[in-house]
Structure 1
Amino acid sequence: MRRQKRDRLGRAHSNGYQAGLSGKNKENCPYQNTDAKSEWLGGWREAVTDRNSGLFK
């Protein structure tokens, strides 16, 4: 059970990161669940920070 939950949240984080790298708005978060949404937004913020610091173009 724990592994499935962790995988789901990890996937949400990864999807948020990809969205942030591609320049999508954080309002485009597809998750309604608070935990998954939090992970998605964390990934999105991380990607935006990476993109702004010049790691990706």
Structure 2
Amino acid sequence: MKRQKRDPFQKAYVSGYKAGVTGRSRDDCPSQGIEMRESWMSGWREGREAQWSGMTGVSGLHVNPMATT
């Protein structure tokens, strides 16, 4: 069975979501490319919103961040 590679933009989004929900700064974005940074920042914003809604730490990581996009 062939493995399907994940979309790099989806991977950046999920990484940004995890960073946002754990309270990391948006300056921690590892990407310098415009499109990748945009995906990471979108995930980070969603993660911050989840954190502000009470989903802090591990409780926010169980949410599927790609279900909202």
TM-score, length basis structure 1: 0.83
Letter in 1 for 2:8: R
Corresponding residue number in structure 2 for 1:46: 46
Corresponding residue number in structure 2 for 1:7: 7
**Matches of 1:46 and 1:39, distance apart in 2:** 11
Q: How many residues align?
A: 52
Greater share of helix residues, 1 or 2?
1
Q: Structure 1 unaligned segments of length 5 or more: list them.
A: none
Structure of higher CA gyration radius:
2
**Matches of 2:42 and 2:48, distance apart in 1:** 10
Q: Secondary structure, in 3 states, of the residue corresponding to 1:32?
A: coil
| Root-mean-square deviation (Å) | 1.3
TM-score, length basis structure 2: 0.70
Structure 1 segments, 4+ long, off by >3 Å, are none
**Matches of 1:47 and 1:8, distance apart in 2:** 18
